[in-house]
Structure 1
Amino acid sequence: MSNIILYHGSAERIVTPTFGLGEDRHDYGRGFYLTESDELAKEWAVCRPDETNGWVHKFVLDDTELKILDFQKESVLSWLAELMKHRAAADSKRYRVLSEKFIQKYGISTDGYDVIKGWRANASYFYIAKSFVRDEIDVDILEELLSLGGLGIQYCVKTEKAYEHLSEIDEELRQINFEQYNKKYNERDITARENMKSLIESDRNKVTKVFSTLL
């Protein structure tokens, strides 16, 4: 048995992970999203602009007999293709046509996996995705750009079996101060964008192997 300690940041004091719920347009589709980082969960609990305190819920995931797809072990292009399946990086006809081709070429099937693990595509990461789609980023610096974000890895619990292996440690529930952690969330995002912009504008970004040339 292997137990993974995970955290879920939420605006809600009571959270009940339920199979079949969630938004199709989230990074990996429907599911319950968590992180191994307590600090990131605190920031995600108050990342909305409504100035209300949030909550961090602590969970244990028993990964015995669970199939976990780890996008960090796959090509970064496969991760981007998965993101494109659920979230649109642009509204143009060009993107709609090319993204379908990109998914067909680099996408991998997530069928049969109980849990998906990979980068969280929040505002900073989506900035990368949009720039990549516009042919502004060379694929050779993509992974480094993702690491510059410092914005964490998330777990998405997908199947009924995985939900059955997930349990909350009720006594570890904590309330999170909005002012303190929303500030940290925004500072992290600003720093990430600045670091990413510097790399994109540097000579290391050859802009040769770009989105449209990979199809």
Structure 2
Amino acid sequence: MEKLILYHGTYNKIVTPTYGQGDDKHDYGRGFYLTENYDLAKEWAVCRPDDCNGWVHKFELDTEDLKILDFQQLNVLSWLAELMKHRDAADSKRYRVLAAKFIEKYGVETSEYDVIKGWRANASYFYIAKEFVRDNIDIDILEELLSLGELGIQYCIKTEKAYSRLKEIQDELSIVDYNEFNVKYNERDVRARRSMRELVDSEANKVTKVFSTLF
């Protein structure tokens, strides 16, 4: 039996993970999102510019008999296809037509999985997706781009079965100081954007195998 310790950063002191709740437009759709990285959870708890302290909730997930889809074990294009199912990287007709073809070719059927694990497409990572669909990024540097940001891996609880295996360790709830960790969140994002822009502008980015050539 394998149990994972996961953290949920939020501005809410009380959270009740409930099957069926959540936003369809989040990275992996509706679900409850957590991370194994405690420091990242702190930053995510205060990433909104509202000057309010946040909270980190600690959970234990019993993974026995759970089916977990790990996008890090798949082609990075599968992750991008999943992202495109839920979030728009552009608002043009060209994007809508090509995105549908891209999802058909590279998308993974996720409905049979209890938990989805993969990169968190916050501002910096979504910048990659936007540049990719504009044909500004070669596929050969995609995975390196995703590793530059150190912006975290998240778990999304998807099924009733997975929710039933998730238990909060309530006596380890911790408060997060907005002034300290909002600065850290923004500094991490700035560093990530700088590193990503340097790689995109480098000779390593051949701009040959780009989005519109992958069909």
Matched AA of 1:13: K
Equivalent position of 1:51 in the other structure: 51
Equivalent position of 1:183 in the other structure: 183
Residue segments in structure 1 that go unaligned for 5+ positions in a row: none
Residue segments in structure 2 that go unaligned for 5+ positions in a row: none
* 2:17 is aligned with 1:5: no
- Deviation per residue, 1:166-204 (Å, 9 max, x gap): 000001000000000000000000000000000000000
Matched AA of 1:188: R
Give SS of 2:204's match: coil
Distance 2:8 2:62 in 1: 16
Equivalent position of 1:159 in the other structure: 159
* 2:211 is aligned with 1:211: yes
Distance 1:75 1:149 in 2: 18
- Deviation per residue, 1:37-82 (Å, 9 max, x gap): 0000000000001110000000000000000000000000000000
* 2:169 is aligned with 1:169: yes
Distance 1:212 1:194 in 2: 26
Matched AA of 2:152: G
Give SS of 1:100's match: helix
The aligned runs of 1:57-76 (5 Å cut-off) are 57-76=57-76
Equivalent position of 2:127 in the other structure: 127
- Deviation per residue, 1:133-163 (Å, 9 max, x gap): 0000000000000000110000000000000
Equivalent position of 1:111 in the other structure: 111
Distance 1:184 1:111 in 2: 35
Distance 2:108 2:54 in 1: 35
Q: How many residues align structurally?
A: 215
Equivalent position of 1:24 in the other structure: 24
Displacement of 1:111 = 1.5
Give SS of 2:148's match: helix
Give SS of 2:23's match: coil
TM-score normalised to structure 1 length? 1.00
Equivalent position of 1:38 in the other structure: 38
Distance 1:111 1:97 in 2: 24
Distance 1:94 1:36 in 2: 37
Give SS of 1:91's match: coil
Displacement of 1:12 = 0.2
Equivalent position of 1:84 in the other structure: 84
TM-score normalised to structure 2 length? 1.00
Displacement of 1:94 = 0.6
Give SS of 1:57's match: strand
Equivalent position of 2:202 in the other structure: 202
Where does structure 1 differ by over 4 angstroms across 4 or more consecutive aligned residues?
Answer: none
Give the superposed CA RMSD.
0.3
Distance 2:213 2:65 in 1: 40
Distance 1:165 1:112 in 2: 17
Give SS of 1:129's match: helix
Equivalent position of 1:96 in the other structure: 96
Give SS of 2:88's match: coil
Give SS of 1:204's match: coil
Displacement of 1:32 = 0.1
Give SS of 2:33's match: strand
Distance 1:61 1:197 in 2: 37
State the identity %: 72
